[in-house]
Amino acid sequence: MTSPLRHISAGSATAATDVWIGPGLLDTAASRLFSSSGRFLLVTSAGPLAAVERVRRALAGRLLVDLEIDDREESKTLGTVSEIANAALSAGVRRDDALVAVGGGVVSDVAGFAAAILLRGIPWNAVPTTTGSMADAAIGGKTGVDHREGKNLLGAFHPPRVVLADPAALDGLPEREFRAGLVEALKAAWIADSGLSGRVEETLSSVLARDEGPLLDLLAGAAAVKADIVSEDPRESDRRRLLNFGHTLGHAFEASGGYRHLRHGEAVAWGIRAALDLSVRRTGLSAEAGGRVADLLSRLGPFPAPETAPARLEPFLSRDKKATARGIAGVLLEDIGRARVEEAIPLQEWLDAAARISLP
């Protein structure tokens, strides 16, 4: 079965992203990646990733810079951005050159941020190599780095011009990363596309077996949701907040484990579990719908259990960017495919919901 190439547009007229999804994109990257000058600055995950080698070969003779960076969360720093900037400026980068980031979310976040500040902004392209970055991280323009005070605290909105999501780029992706990234893809379905969620209920075992058709259906569906939402609200003043479904407690679970215990997608999965519980109580989400979402999450797992002790979670919830004196904003489901922001959910409700997910 050959999968057709899908095209999704995100953004506005002045900051548009062309997302291409399908097989064969790695080897034909030169014909789709954007660069006015025809010259590229390649920034990739270090290590022998097949996707990196194929993009490098596709761009042979056009590389002004070919730089590998450490793609662990610990390297998502201003220092790594500076390393990319040094390489680019030493090589004589011009405003009509473009950067290409090949890797997971860390690589696209850091390299996209470097593109945002080089010469006050040069264009960039993303070639994601994880399910999470294909469905989520590479689209929408949020770039940035961590700070000792927290994650993603320094950055810029700077959307890539082109995203190439080729399933072959997932070859060699460890099972755990593959599954964790799918949580973000399903999240998109749950907040905005009930049809996609329904299809995945049928096809999840094929998706997990990495069958190209159903996998691309999920990744393209998630990318379409994300593209639609960020096009409407690029700076997260309104509807884009829905993408934070599962992220309020998710971030607290991630942080309380020192970012080592749980992958980001795994923490979000637990955050969604708790948000389902809050949704049934607050928005009238039916127990049946909540159960279907929870069931899909279980089939993606099992995931390591999060820390749910109130004393450990509370500091992280209280310093949430969305916290006010009245409570902490959260995204709740009204039904599968329909979500809303609840502005001030009391801290205690969050802690109670977290405690309940640890029950058998």
Binding site for a copy of itself (CB under 8 A): 78, 82, 85-86, 89-90, 92, 94-95, 113, 116-121, 142, 144, 147, 149-150, 152-157, 319, 321
Catalytic-residue membership of 251: yes
Catalytic-residue membership of 120: yes
- CB of 235: closest distance to a copy of itself in angstroms? 8
Catalytic-residue membership of 76: no
Give the residue from 179, 215, 182, 201 showing the smallest Cα distance to 302. 179
Catalytic-residue membership of 281: no
Q: What does the alpha-carbon distance between residue 89 and residue 97 come to, in Å, rounded to a whole number? A: 11
Catalytic residue among 120, 149, 175, 260: 120
- CB of 147: closest distance to a copy of itself in angstroms? 5
DSSP code of residue 75: G
Distances (CA, A) of 157 to 210, 239, 241, 335: 32, 16, 15, 31
Give the nearer residue to a copy of itself in terms of CB position, either 72 or 94.
94
Q: What does the alpha-carbon distance between residue 45 and residue 51 come to, in Å, rounded to a whole number? A: 10
Give the nearer residue to a copy of itself in terms of CB position, either 103 or 112.
112
- CB of 16: closest distance to a copy of itself in angstroms? 16
Residue-by-residue DSSP string for 217-261:
HHHHHHHHHHHHHHHH-TTSSSGGGGGGTTHHHHHHHHHHTTTTS
Catalytic residue among 54, 76, 161, 240: 240
Catalytic residue among 54, 76, 179, 251: 251
Catalytic residue among 212, 236, 314, 334: 236
Catalytic-residue membership of 149: no
Give the nearer residue to a copy of itself in terms of CB position, either 281 or 321.
321
SS3 211: coil
Q: What does the alpha-carbon distance between residue 243 and residue 266 come to, in Å, rounded to a whole number? A: 16
Catalytic-residue membership of 184: yes
- CB of 27: closest distance to a copy of itself in angstroms? 33
- CB of 180: closest distance to a copy of itself in angstroms? 24
Catalytic-residue membership of 86: no
Element housing 190 (H / E): helix 175-192
Return left, alpha or beta for 57; rule: phi > 0 is left, psi -120 to 50 is alpha, else beta. Answer: alpha
Give the nearer residue to a copy of itself in terms of CB position, either 118 or 215.
118
Give the nearer residue to a copy of itself in terms of CB position, either 103 or 144.
144
Q: What does the alpha-carbon distance between residue 52 and residue 48 come to, in Å, rounded to a whole number? A: 8
Catalytic-residue membership of 273: no
Catalytic-residue membership of 7: no
SS3 213: helix
Catalytic residue among 54, 247, 263, 322: 247
The residues annotated with a catalytic role in the active site are 120, 142, 184, 226, 236, 240, 244, 247, 251, 264
